[in-house]
Amino acid sequence: MKFYKMVFAVFFWALLSAHFSYASDKGIRMTPVVRTVQSVAPAVVNIHTARIVEQELNPFGSMFDDTLFRHFFGSQDLTRRFEQRSLGSGVIIDGSKNLVLTNAHVIEGASSIRVRLLDGREFDGELVGSDPDFDLAILHLKDAQNLPQATMGDSSDMMIGETVIAIGNPFGFGNTVTTGVVSALERTIETRQGTFTDFIQTDAAINPGNSGGPLMNLAGELVGINTAIYAEAEGIGFAIPINKAKRVVDELVSFGRVQAVWLGLEGQDVDERIARYLGLDTTRGMLVTQIHEAATQKAGLETGDVIRTVNGVGVEDRNHYQRILRNFTLGQDVRLEVAGQGGRRNVTVKLQSFTNEKALDMAGRRWGMIVAPRGRNLVISEVRPGSPAQKLGLKNGDLLFKVAGDAQVSLDDYARAFKRYRMANTVLLLVGRDGRGYHVRLRV
CATH number for the domain spanning 192: value is 2.40.10.10
Encode the chain (444 residues) as per-residue pLDDT tens digits.
555 555 455 555 555 555 555 555 666 888 899 999 999 999 999 999 988 766 655 555 544 566 655 665 555 555 666 667 778 899 999 999 999 999 999 998 888 999 999 999 999 999 999 998 899 999 999 999 999 999 999 999 999 999 999 998 876 666 789 999 999 999 988 777 778 888 999 998 887 778 899 999 999 999 999 986 665 656 788 999 999 999 999 999 998 889 999 999 999 999 999 999 888 889 999 999 999 988 888 888 999 999 999 999 999 999 999 999 999 999 899 999 999 877 889 999 999 999 999 999 999 999 999 999 998 889 999 999 999 999 999 999 999 999 999 999 999 999 999 999 999 999 999 999 988 899 999 999
Verify that 157 and 237 share a domain, yes or no.
yes
List the catalytic residue out of 211, 269, 305, 413: 211
Give yes or no: 157 in active site: no
Give yes or no: 183 in active site: no
Which of 296, 322, 353 corresponds to the end of one domain?
353
pTM flag (> 0.85) = no
Verify that 342 and 361 share a domain, yes or no.
no
Residue 306 domain-assigned? Answer: yes
Give yes or no: 135 in active site: yes
Counting the structural domains of the chain, the total is 4
Whole domain around residue 65: which residue ranges? 41-141
List the catalytic residue out of 105, 140, 183, 269: 105
List the catalytic residue out of 131, 133, 135, 269: 135
Length of the chain: 444
Which of 99, 116, 141 corresponds to the end of one domain?
141
Verify that 228 and 281 share a domain, yes or no.
no
Verify that 81 and 68 share a domain, yes or no.
yes
Residue 130 domain-assigned? Answer: yes
